[in-house]
Amino acid sequence: MKKKLLLHICCAPDAAWIPEKLEQDYEVTCFFYNPNIYPAKEHEKRASEMRRLAKAKGYRLAEPPFDPEIFEKRTAHLRYQPEKAGRCSICYRIRLEETARFAHENGYDLFATVLTVSPHKLVDRINRIGETVAEKYGITYLPSDFKKEDGFKKSVEESRNYNLYRQDYCGCESSFLYRQLFKDAGSQAFVPLISCEKPGIYDVQSFRRWLDRKKLKTGFLFFQQTPTEAVLREAYEERIFLEPADNLDWRKRIFAKKKQETREINLSDVSNRDIFCDPL
């Protein structure tokens, strides 16, 4: 007899081929649990696509009620952080912990998540959190990296075959705003990419004034040292991307792929940090 596996699902496209692959070895039930999704109508859109896919493919599907307060309460203090920082760890944990709890209380042998099919997610962190919550509930976690061996490509192709809705932001309110900002950046004459050691509110506000003078909606500040929460909040409110220096090359590649002009400057190289007084 096959072991019973509860498979956490974040969206239909990421579930497009994984449940049937796992069915070869397990009796799989999909578990759509995502209190991080903002706004509620977006949650319903993603959930209903999952229902449609499950019906078309014959997947078993469990769908607990949507309760966004769980996510909001636990991440309110991390609202202004960039993607892949602490907020995402809590987000993974909320979803995997509920999957582990449900699996434990409903007679499953193990659980897993399709989150690892996304190239935008931190696989090691997801698997580490999976192991931690598995231990807490005395159940087995099946680690994965589903994007390997063209796993992500397969998801995209199968989503097309089933005409599935593919969202263009991760899920939470912060990622929703960042998606809009990214669109703004793509519509500009050029995108400023500014590197600095540790941005302060002064840099953020100077940059905002400079963007306004140039009639640009947004730009990027990349930092070496983590800024304070107040600065992260300032950047969020001023609609500026504030991201770790590690993201610079990745952003450059994305804009190059989109044939979007960028201009770079390193604030550490200039004596007067109010470079924004001068045209680049």
CA-based nearest residue to 169, from 177, 160, 161, 157: 177
Q: For the chain, what is the total number of helices (H) and then of strands (E)?
A: 10, 9
Shortest spacing between CB 138 and ligand SF4, in angstroms:
26
Tokens for 158?
A: 């199968």
Interaction residues for ligand SF4, span 74-113 (CB under 6 A): 83, 87-88, 91
Shortest spacing between CB 87 and ligand SF4, in angstroms:
4
CA distance 88 to 223: 19
Shortest spacing between CB 89 and ligand SF4, in angstroms:
8
Does the protein bind ligand SF4 through residue 72 (CB under 6 A)?
no
Applying CB under 6 A, the span of 46-54, 168-176, 245-253, 262-270 interacting with ligand SF4 comes to: 168-176
CB of 94 or CB of 275, closer to ligand SF4: 94
Shortest spacing between CB 279 and ligand SF4, in angstroms:
34
The footprint of ligand SF4 on this chain (CB under 6 A) covers a number of residues equal to 10
CB of 60 or CB of 125, closer to ligand SF4: 125
SS3 59: coil
Helix axes 201-213, 229-237, angle to 10 degrees: 10
Tokens for 35?
A: 């209190």
Does the protein bind ligand SF4 through residue 36 (CB under 6 A)?
yes
Interaction residues for ligand SF4, span 205-224 (CB under 6 A): none
Residue at token pair 């490509």: 153
CA distance 275 to 238: 18
Q: Which amino acid is at 33?
A: Y
* Radius of gyration of the chain, Cα coordinates, nearest whole angstrom: 21
Does the protein bind ligand SF4 through residue 170 (CB under 6 A)?
yes
CB of 97 or CB of 203, closer to ligand SF4: 97
Applying CB under 6 A, the span of 136-144, 164-172, 186-194, 272-280 interacting with ligand SF4 comes to: 164-172
Residue at token pair 């991760």: 170
Does the protein bind ligand SF4 through residue 8 (CB under 6 A)?
no
Q: Please name the residues in contact with 105: beta carbons below 8 A apart, sequence gap of 6 or more.
A: none
Enumerate binding residues for ligand SF4 (CB under 6 A).
36, 83, 87-88, 91, 170-172, 174-175
